Amino acid sequence: MLRKKIKEFDLKILGVGLIFIALINFSCQRDDICPDSTPITPLLRISFFDIENPEVPKPPTNLRVKAADMDSIYLNRVNVSEISIPLKTDIDFTEYEFILNAPIITQADSVSNSNTDKIRFTYARNEIYINRACSYKVNYINLKASPQTLAEDSVRWIKNIVVEEENIENETNTHIFIYH
């Protein structure tokens, strides 16, 4: 008695439409997460070479790396010939301390032959929009690296700094060569 004469064909269109809408909605939830594969603000890649033999990579012994104005240490007592460090994205320079022969932290008071060199990296920042999940990244342009004089520093262990790539847009190439 409550017979509804709905044209079957029209109902099909309606049904397919509704399912389609549901699918679209479901499949589009993923773009809220920034995937690891998306290039974001690149790190500064530094390679260490032998000053005597400039072609040969030479890892500094027990190298500690920390930003001059930070209490926490970024890298501690590493023995590698290549490191990647972050540069600040809110100001146009970042100062880092590179400590050769860094003592073990618990023995910091003991006499050691550690040698601290400070480098100031200056650059211009270019903010680039990526997408809604990853927000913005910073590319650094016109990079310069200059050694800073420390009062207690008698001998510099870093003999020469060469900026290989002035513009830091990715992490595929080394940006800075340090000879020691």
Partner 1 sequence: MKQTLISLFTISIFFLFNFWSANSQTNLDTIQYKEKYGLRLGIDLSKPLKTLLEDDYRGLEIIGDYRVYKNYYLAAEIGNEELSITEQNISATAKGSYIKLGADYNAYDNWAGMENVIFVGMRYAFSTFSQTLEEYTVSGSSQYFPPNIVEGPFETKGLTASWVELVAGLKVELLNNLYLGANVQLKRRITQTTPSNFDNLAIPGFNRTYDESLFGVGYSYTISYLIPLYKKAKN
Burial label for 46, CB within 10 Å (0-12, 13-18, 19+), is buried
Strand pairing of 160-163 and 82-85?
A: unpaired
Give CA–CA dist 20/91, Å, rounded: 48
State the nearest-atom distance from the C-beta of 152 to partner 1, in Å: 25
State the nearest-atom distance from the C-beta of 101 to partner 1, in Å: 22
Chain residues that interact with partner 1, rule: CB under 8 A: 1, 3-7, 10-11, 13-14, 17-18, 20-21, 24-25, 28, 31-32, 34, 40-43, 67, 70, 72, 74, 85-86, 88-90, 127-138
State the nearest-atom distance from the C-beta of 42 to partner 1, in Å: 8
Distance, C-alpha 132 to centroid of its chain: 20
Q: Which residues have C-beta within 8 Å of that of residue 45, sequence separation ≥ 6?
A: 82, 83, 84, 171, 173, 174, 175, 176
Q: Which is nearer to partner 1, 112 or 139 (CB)?
A: 139
State the nearest-atom distance from the C-beta of 79 to partner 1, in Å: 20
Q: Which is nearer to partner 1, 168 or 180 (CB)?
A: 168
Q: Which is nearer to partner 1, 52 or 127 (CB)?
A: 127
